[in-house]
Amino acid sequence: MEITVVPKFKSTLFLSLCLAGVPLSAGDRSNATAQDASEVTTEAVSFSLKRGEVLQIIASDNREDGRQARLDYYAKVLPLAQAEGYRRLAQLNVRESVISDTQPDAFSFFAWPDEAAEKRFSQNPEWPAYKATRPEGWDELSIYTAKLTEDLSLTFSPDKYYTVVVAWPDAETGADYTRYLEGIEPAVTRAGGRFIAKIYNPRFEAHASPDEAPGQLTFVEWDSLDGFRKVQKMPEYLAHRDYFASGLDRFEFHWMELARF
């Protein structure tokens, strides 16, 4: 499978401290759109994509006064996109943005049938004017797009929790980040976690952040909110955490759960 301006912080100490400070357990954002699982339940959401389809993940930070602007945008843009086969797949609401310069409300998953369909949409003469209205509805839209080079199937469950790390690997030592992920996987498994998707080198666009694409988005499913706290105490993590620091320029870390409607 194929931010506010923020300076890079290539500092091993700083990154190590950041990672060590990733939450003992995820909190609940006071303005989160998701409700507590004990109050509302929903069915699991599953989707499958074929090689050649285009996955689009949108992290949306809604403006407090932008609801009508968002509704107007959807009313104009969605029919154009759906005419080219664009479809909504799933939504994960953000419980807590632990380390991030933006505060997205959700990560939503969409798909185009192929790159040609996405291109036809982008060349619609009405699209540029509609795109220009995004700042009226969102403080930020971070859009990650990747053409799939292999089939992808995902299931999001209402009784699980999810994390995503958006990572900008170092140009010279980025392989250390891969070494870190591979090294901690046994600990993640024992702590009730599963790596469910790694999206490499997505195209990136945003209207309020630097146009610098991350190198990887890594999604993990957890049985409980203290899963990563458990990982941090295990020998595999302690042996590999320095590779996280040496392998990245910067990163974002978010806790999420399946949207409940």
- How high is the pLDDT of residue 35? 38
Enter the pTM of the model: 0.88
Per-residue pLDDT of the chain (261 residues; tens, 9 = 90+): 432 223 344 554 445 445 555 554 566 654 433 333 344 447 999 999 999 999 999 999 999 999 999 999 999 999 999 999 999 999 999 999 999 989 999 999 999 999 999 999 999 999 999 999 999 999 999 999 999 999 999 999 999 999 999 999 999 999 999 999 999 999 999 999 999 999 999 999 999 998 899 999 999 999 999 999 999 999 999 999 999 999 999 999 999 999 976
H/E run at residue 152: strand 152-156
What type of residue is 99?
Answer: I
| Residues 256/217, Cβ–Cβ less than 8 Å | no
Q: What is the CA radius of gyration of the chain?
A: 18
Do residues 146 and 55 lie in contact, with contact meaning Cβ atoms separated by under 8 Å? yes
Picking from 117, 108, 107, 109, the residue whose alpha carbon sits closest to that of residue 52 is 117
pLDDT at 210: 86
Which pair of tokens denotes residue 188? 């993640």
* 153 bridge partner residues: 48
Distance (Å, whole) CA 258 – CA 260: 6
